[in-house]
Amino acid sequence: MRFRAPCAALLLATVALGACAPADEPTVDDAQAFVAAAEARLLELWIAAGRADWVRSTYITDDTNALAASANAELMAATTELAAAAARFDSLDLPPALGRKLNLLKTSLAAVAPSDPALQRELAEIIAEMEGLYGRGAYCPPGDDECLDLTAMERLFASERDTDELVEMWTGWREVAVPMRPLYERFVELANAGARELGFDDLGALWRARYEMPAGALAEELERLWMQVRPLYEALHCHVRAELADEFGSAVVPADGPIPAHLLGNMWGQSWTNLFEAVGPRSGGTAYDLTRLLQRARVDEVEMVRYGERFFSSLGFDPLPETFWQRSLFVKPADRDVVCHASAWDLDFESDVRIKMCIGINDEDFVTIHHELGHNYYQRAYSGQDPLHRNSANDGFHEGIGDTIALSITPEYLVRVGLLNRAPDADRDIGLLLQRALDKVAFLPFGLLVDQWRWQVFSGAIAPERYNAAWWELRERYQGLRPAAPRSDRLFDPGAKYHVPANTPYTRYFIAHILQFQFHRALCDAAGFDGPLHRCSIFESDEAGRRLRTMLEMGASRPWPDALEAIAGTREMDATAILDYFAPLAAWLEEQNADRSCGW
């Protein structure tokens, strides 16, 4: 009998897919060997790209940018090639675990280029050009010698209340996206062609396949979740619109129509937190100032992180390794440029976890640290899984876990860690809840509609000549917003949001906003908490810690409903936990809106 070595074994060193003759009929053994070789190769590349990107982010120079770009290009090329090769095993009857790994591999990239090398280069160049247009984007006010970058405009949007100035900045920033429009049209053609070569109908189908649900089921599930929380969003929208109408007049903000998008304190209208002073309770704001508490306690940057570590230790997690404290970046260096945006890193996919952020001694960064450490503890928990399973159960879980931990920063938690003398009475919580709703609840429809638009673009349901019109139809339908100024088909307003030119899937953020409250409610039940859900902290709960660890350790080794069941006791996502959390606020909003016309 002639022995035929599994074709995939030849990939271990070179990812040389051409070594297998097309006539060879693949076997289950071939698929098994292919996956093992692919995992070994990808792990090497993940580590190399991660290390290069860490150096680039913490020591920005032309050289470190070039090194990081080179490492990422090598990773993307290998992943694309492996994903294309994985499609060769589609016709086999594979064991479920092996089939899942092949699916994870095929859906691991947000865009896969066609097999033609010339088209691969073209797609890479288009993505780089779109990101470059966004990154270099600026608004240059007429008659002004200085242009404003996005960071400067975001700061102004947070405080500016002159409507003319806001309209100018809002429309000026969106001019940045106009040159992207023909690029995006070609991007859709190429990325769809690459997705079809892997067996998917289009790029949107490839994205949805990672959720391991029947065709059409994910879209239906997202709409079901949205309908659960829509009444709360509409109540918040009604209150905010009425308060803005009082400030700007009914000629600017109609009493019963969409809110002008430039008045919400955020360039995209996705978070309304900067409106708190304008729309908050007349009786005052929040009952305590965490920033002042931290500064009064003389907490420094490292101690801010120690608070987060002690939170996880109280749940039974091992302390962070010494390398975390040696290698993380906590303070902006005085001698070099760094990327200050907070992020969590897993450099070796085993134990070399770190965070990178330029910590300020304030309430926002205190919450962010707990969030980022949620990522790090997730990374440590699933480090024993196979390489393709060293990830979250689905892409909403990672963000959801970080935010779940942040929800436990309650007045009671601050008392237990010595930052607050006594917790204020719960009847003073409306300010805190409204502040959080202006972030969490206001975001929900935006988190949903970005991919609703893209999926229809990828499928052809939205033609290029309707890119902009369809975008605003969805924004009015879901968010109840209208543009600050008339928009034409020449424009490309979706491109003014980073995730569109960068081709970053966005549904994960909507799912994360749903899951964090569902996780929080389940863990509070496990902790035996009895009281308003927004006052629950799982700090020092052994049972909540045990349940959390069980889910985190699974990584992506099982379908996400299994992971959800491990932490929440159900296999179905459920947005009613958001309603439970914000119940006191919902009652207050009902009182405020009693004589108002709501809806749009």
Residue 372 among the catalytic residues? yes
Residue 399 among the catalytic residues? yes
Rounded distance between C-alpha atoms, residue 467 and residue 497, angstroms = 14
154-179: b (≥16 Cβ within 10 Å) or e: beebeebeebeebbbbbbbbbebbee
- The one catalytic residue among 23, 146, 322, 341: 341
3-class DSSP state of 396: helix
Residue 237 among the catalytic residues? no
Residue 341 among the catalytic residues? yes
267, 153 Cβ separation under 8 angstroms? yes
3-class DSSP state of 482: strand
Secondary structure of 24-76 as H, E, C letters: CCCCHHHHHHHHHHHHHHHHHHHHHHHHHHHHHHHCCCHHHHHHHHHHHHHHH
138 pairs with which residues across the strands?
149
- The one catalytic residue among 39, 81, 309, 372: 372
Phi and psi (nearest 5°) for 354? Answer: -155, 165
For the chain, percent helix, then strand, then coil, each to nearest 5?
60, 5, 35
Secondary structure of 485-524 as H, E, C letters: CCCCCCCCHHHHCCCCCCCCCCHHHHHHHHHHHHHHHHHH
**Residue labelled with tokens 């928990």:** 381
Strand bridging mode 138-139 / 148-149: antiparallel
Q: Give me 457's structure tokens.
A: 């673009």
Rounded distance between C-alpha atoms, residue 31 and residue 596, angstroms = 62
Rg (CA), the chain: 25
- The one catalytic residue among 138, 342, 426, 583: 342
Q: What is the DSSP string of 88-116?
A: GGTTS---HHHHHHHHHHHTSSS----SS
Residue 412 among the catalytic residues? no
Cα–Cα separations (whole angstroms), residue 454 to 178, 450, 464, 469, 532: 17, 6, 11, 13, 38
Q: Give me 57's structure tokens.
A: 């982010």
Residue 520 among the catalytic residues? no
Q: Give me 7's structure tokens.
A: 């074709």
3-class DSSP state of 341: coil
- The one catalytic residue among 237, 239, 370, 371: 371
Active site amino acids: 341-342, 371-372, 375, 399, 499, 509
